[in-house]
Amino acid sequence: MRRAGACGLLASLALSLVPSPARADFRRVGVWLTNSPSPLYYDPERIERAVQQLDAAGFNTLYPNVWSRGATFHRSRWAPMEPQLQRDAPDLDPICRLTRSAQKRGMQVIPWFEYGLMEPADAAVVQQNPEWVLKRSDGSALHAMHGANLQTSPLKDLRVWLNPAHPGVQERFIGLITEIVSRCNADGIQLDDHFAWPVELGYDDYTRQLYRRDTGE
Protein backbone atom coordinates (compact mmCIF):
# COMPACT_ATOMS: atom_id res chain seq x y z
CA MET A 1 0.00 0.00 0.00
CA ARG A 2 2.81 2.43 0.81
CA ARG A 3 4.39 1.78 -2.59
CA ALA A 4 1.07 2.40 -4.32
CA GLY A 5 0.50 5.57 -2.33
CA ALA A 6 3.95 6.90 -3.14
CA CYS A 7 3.54 6.17 -6.83
CA GLY A 8 0.11 7.81 -6.80
CA LEU A 9 1.49 10.93 -5.16
CA LEU A 10 4.29 11.18 -7.72
CA ALA A 11 1.80 10.71 -10.55
CA SER A 12 -0.39 13.45 -9.09
CA LEU A 13 2.62 15.73 -8.84
CA ALA A 14 3.55 15.06 -12.45
CA LEU A 15 0.02 15.81 -13.63
CA SER A 16 -0.07 19.03 -11.63
CA LEU A 17 3.05 20.20 -13.44
CA VAL A 18 1.82 19.49 -16.96
CA PRO A 19 1.86 22.88 -18.68
CA SER A 20 -1.06 24.34 -20.55
CA PRO A 21 -1.05 23.57 -24.27
CA ALA A 22 1.82 25.52 -25.79
CA ARG A 23 1.23 28.16 -28.40
CA ALA A 24 1.98 26.93 -31.88
CA ASP A 25 4.72 29.53 -32.20
CA PHE A 26 6.36 28.81 -28.82
CA ARG A 27 9.97 27.66 -29.03
CA ARG A 28 11.61 26.57 -25.79
CA VAL A 29 15.18 27.78 -25.43
CA GLY A 30 16.66 26.45 -22.21
CA VAL A 31 19.94 26.22 -20.36
CA TRP A 32 21.23 24.19 -17.43
CA LEU A 33 22.61 26.13 -14.46
CA THR A 34 24.93 24.56 -11.90
CA ASN A 35 27.33 25.36 -9.07
CA SER A 36 30.21 23.47 -10.66
CA PRO A 37 32.51 25.19 -11.47
CA SER A 38 30.38 28.34 -11.32
CA PRO A 39 29.97 30.48 -8.15
CA LEU A 40 26.46 31.42 -9.32
CA TYR A 41 24.50 30.10 -6.33
CA TYR A 42 26.44 31.93 -3.62
CA ASP A 43 25.85 35.61 -4.44
CA PRO A 44 22.45 37.33 -4.88
CA GLU A 45 23.83 39.95 -7.26
CA ARG A 46 25.40 37.25 -9.41
CA ILE A 47 22.06 35.41 -9.58
CA GLU A 48 20.23 38.55 -10.68
CA ARG A 49 22.88 39.41 -13.25
CA ALA A 50 22.83 35.87 -14.68
CA VAL A 51 19.06 35.93 -15.12
CA GLN A 52 19.23 39.32 -16.82
CA GLN A 53 21.94 38.15 -19.21
CA LEU A 54 20.15 34.91 -20.06
CA ASP A 55 16.91 36.76 -20.71
CA ALA A 56 18.74 39.22 -22.96
CA ALA A 57 20.36 36.31 -24.81
CA GLY A 58 16.96 34.86 -25.69
CA PHE A 59 16.61 32.02 -23.19
CA ASN A 60 13.09 31.43 -21.89
CA THR A 61 13.62 28.38 -19.65
CA LEU A 62 16.17 27.84 -16.88
CA TYR A 63 17.06 24.42 -15.47
CA PRO A 64 18.94 25.07 -12.19
CA ASN A 65 20.59 22.11 -10.55
CA VAL A 66 18.94 21.62 -7.15
CA TRP A 67 20.31 18.19 -6.19
CA SER A 68 24.00 17.31 -6.34
CA ARG A 69 26.20 14.83 -4.47
CA GLY A 70 23.55 14.12 -1.85
CA ALA A 71 22.89 17.78 -1.02
CA THR A 72 20.37 20.46 -1.94
CA PHE A 73 20.64 24.14 -2.82
CA HIS A 74 17.53 24.99 -0.83
CA ARG A 75 16.37 24.51 2.74
CA SER A 76 15.13 20.94 2.96
CA ARG A 77 13.77 18.63 5.60
CA TRP A 78 14.87 15.64 3.51
CA ALA A 79 18.55 16.23 2.79
CA PRO A 80 21.45 18.44 3.92
CA MET A 81 22.24 21.77 2.30
CA GLU A 82 25.25 21.88 -0.02
CA PRO A 83 28.32 22.47 2.21
CA GLN A 84 29.61 25.71 0.67
CA LEU A 85 26.13 27.25 0.62
CA GLN A 86 25.57 26.17 4.22
CA ARG A 87 28.88 27.74 5.21
CA ASP A 88 28.79 30.97 3.23
CA ALA A 89 25.14 31.89 2.63
CA PRO A 90 22.65 29.57 4.40
CA ASP A 91 19.82 32.12 4.18
CA LEU A 92 20.32 33.04 0.52
CA ASP A 93 17.83 30.46 -0.83
CA PRO A 94 19.27 30.74 -4.37
CA ILE A 95 16.75 28.53 -6.17
CA CYS A 96 13.71 30.48 -5.00
CA ARG A 97 15.55 33.75 -5.60
CA LEU A 98 16.47 32.73 -9.13
CA THR A 99 12.92 31.52 -9.79
CA ARG A 100 11.34 34.79 -8.69
CA SER A 101 13.75 36.82 -10.80
CA ALA A 102 13.21 34.68 -13.90
CA GLN A 103 9.43 34.47 -13.64
CA LYS A 104 9.18 38.27 -13.36
CA ARG A 105 10.69 38.33 -16.84
CA GLY A 106 8.28 35.73 -18.21
CA MET A 107 10.83 32.91 -18.08
CA GLN A 108 10.10 29.42 -16.75
CA VAL A 109 12.21 27.66 -14.12
CA ILE A 110 12.37 23.86 -14.04
CA PRO A 111 14.55 22.48 -11.20
CA TRP A 112 16.99 19.81 -12.34
CA PHE A 113 17.62 16.86 -10.00
CA GLU A 114 21.02 16.03 -11.45
CA TYR A 115 22.26 13.25 -9.20
CA GLY A 116 19.04 11.26 -9.01
CA LEU A 117 19.31 8.17 -6.82
CA MET A 118 23.10 8.40 -6.63
CA GLU A 119 24.61 9.34 -3.24
CA PRO A 120 28.11 9.75 -1.82
CA ALA A 121 29.01 6.49 -0.09
CA ASP A 122 29.66 8.32 3.17
CA ALA A 123 26.36 10.26 3.15
CA ALA A 124 24.40 10.19 6.39
CA VAL A 125 21.34 8.77 4.64
CA VAL A 126 23.45 5.84 3.39
CA GLN A 127 25.07 5.17 6.75
CA GLN A 128 21.74 5.38 8.58
CA ASN A 129 19.76 3.31 6.05
CA PRO A 130 22.04 0.63 4.59
CA GLU A 131 18.97 -1.38 3.57
CA TRP A 132 18.15 1.36 1.03
CA VAL A 133 21.31 0.72 -1.00
CA LEU A 134 21.24 -1.32 -4.23
CA LYS A 135 23.89 -4.05 -4.50
CA ARG A 136 25.53 -6.33 -7.04
CA SER A 137 25.22 -10.11 -6.91
CA ASP A 138 28.51 -10.32 -4.97
CA GLY A 139 27.13 -7.97 -2.30
CA SER A 140 29.22 -4.95 -3.31
CA ALA A 141 27.65 -1.52 -3.78
CA LEU A 142 30.39 1.06 -4.39
CA HIS A 143 30.93 2.79 -7.73
CA ALA A 144 33.92 4.85 -8.83
CA MET A 145 33.03 7.85 -10.98
CA HIS A 146 34.63 11.10 -12.16
CA GLY A 147 38.17 9.79 -11.80
CA ALA A 148 37.71 8.07 -8.44
CA ASN A 149 39.31 4.70 -7.67
CA LEU A 150 37.56 1.91 -5.79
CA GLN A 151 40.77 0.82 -4.10
CA THR A 152 42.28 4.16 -3.11
CA SER A 153 39.58 6.85 -3.05
CA PRO A 154 37.88 7.86 0.22
CA LEU A 155 34.21 7.01 0.66
CA LYS A 156 33.15 10.60 0.03
CA ASP A 157 34.44 10.28 -3.55
CA LEU A 158 32.66 6.98 -4.23
CA ARG A 159 28.97 6.53 -5.03
CA VAL A 160 26.09 4.18 -4.27
CA TRP A 161 22.57 4.03 -5.72
CA LEU A 162 19.47 4.05 -3.54
CA ASN A 163 16.69 1.59 -4.27
CA PRO A 164 13.65 3.28 -5.88
CA ALA A 165 11.46 0.33 -4.89
CA HIS A 166 12.04 0.95 -1.18
CA PRO A 167 9.22 2.98 0.48
CA GLY A 168 11.74 5.05 2.45
CA VAL A 169 13.56 6.09 -0.72
CA GLN A 170 10.29 6.88 -2.48
CA GLU A 171 9.12 9.04 0.41
CA ARG A 172 12.42 10.92 0.51
CA PHE A 173 12.57 11.77 -3.18
CA ILE A 174 8.91 12.66 -3.45
CA GLY A 175 9.51 14.93 -0.46
CA LEU A 176 12.54 16.53 -2.10
CA ILE A 177 10.59 17.18 -5.28
CA THR A 178 7.36 18.46 -3.76
CA GLU A 179 9.07 20.84 -1.36
CA ILE A 180 11.08 22.63 -4.07
CA VAL A 181 8.05 22.86 -6.35
CA SER A 182 5.80 24.26 -3.61
CA ARG A 183 8.37 26.52 -1.91
CA CYS A 184 9.77 28.09 -5.06
CA ASN A 185 6.67 27.90 -7.29
CA ALA A 186 8.61 25.98 -9.94
CA ASP A 187 7.19 25.47 -13.42
CA GLY A 188 8.13 21.79 -13.59
CA ILE A 189 10.88 19.33 -12.72
CA GLN A 190 13.61 17.58 -14.67
CA LEU A 191 14.85 14.17 -13.53
CA ASP A 192 18.34 13.14 -14.59
CA ASP A 193 19.47 9.79 -15.98
CA HIS A 194 20.93 8.96 -12.56
CA PHE A 195 17.40 8.06 -11.48
CA ALA A 196 18.17 4.92 -13.49
CA TRP A 197 20.72 2.58 -11.93
CA PRO A 198 23.55 0.41 -13.31
CA VAL A 199 22.30 -2.85 -14.76
CA GLU A 200 24.41 -4.99 -12.41
CA LEU A 201 22.52 -3.74 -9.35
CA GLY A 202 19.35 -5.19 -7.84
CA TYR A 203 20.67 -8.08 -5.73
CA ASP A 204 20.22 -6.48 -2.31
CA ASP A 205 17.99 -8.20 0.24
CA TYR A 206 15.02 -5.90 -0.26
CA THR A 207 14.92 -6.33 -4.05
CA ARG A 208 15.38 -10.10 -3.72
CA GLN A 209 12.40 -10.23 -1.36
CA LEU A 210 10.26 -8.28 -3.82
CA TYR A 211 11.31 -10.60 -6.64
CA ARG A 212 10.44 -13.72 -4.65
CA ARG A 213 7.11 -12.22 -3.60
CA ASP A 214 6.18 -11.28 -7.16
CA THR A 215 7.41 -14.44 -8.90
CA GLY A 216 7.25 -17.11 -6.22
CA GLU A 217 10.81 -18.14 -7.08
- Listed by start position, the domains of the chain span 28-215
List residues bridging with 64 in a β-sheet: 33
* pLDDT mean across residues, the chain: 88
| Whole-number pLDDT of residue 5 | 42
| pLDDT tens digits along 109-120 | 999 998 889 999
Per-residue DSSP letter, 41? G
Average pLDDT over residues 6-33: 63
| Whole-number pLDDT of residue 120 | 93
| Whole-number pLDDT of residue 22 | 56
Residue of 107, 88, 89, 86 whose CA lies nearest to 98: 107
Dist. CA 154–CA 160, nearest whole Å: 13
Pairing between β-strand 67-68 and β-strand 30-33 as defined by DSSP bridges: unpaired
Residue of 22, 14, 116 whose CA lies nearest to 60: 22
Pairing between β-strand 190-191 and β-strand 118-120 as defined by DSSP bridges: unpaired
Whether the per-residue pLDDT at 19 is higher than 60: the answer is no
| pLDDT tens digits along 62-98 | 999 999 888 999 889 999 999 999 999 999 999 999 9
Which alpha helices (H) appear in the chain, and where do they start and end? 2-16, 44-56, 83-88, 94-104, 124-128, 167-184, 205-215
Pairing between β-strand 158-161 and β-strand 71-72 as defined by DSSP bridges: unpaired
List residues bridging with 118 in a β-sheet: 161
Dist. CA 56–CA 107, nearest whole Å: 11
| pLDDT tens digits along 151-178 | 888 888 899 999 999 999 999 999 999 9
Four-residue CA torsion sign, 147, 150, 154, 158? positive
| Whole-number pLDDT of residue 145 | 81
The answer to whether domain 28-215 has CATH 3.20.20.80 is: yes
The length of the chain, given as a count of residues:
217
| pLDDT tens digits along 21-77 | 556 678 899 999 988 878 899 999 999 999 999 999 999 999 999 998 889 998 899
Contact 103, 156 (CB under 8 A): no
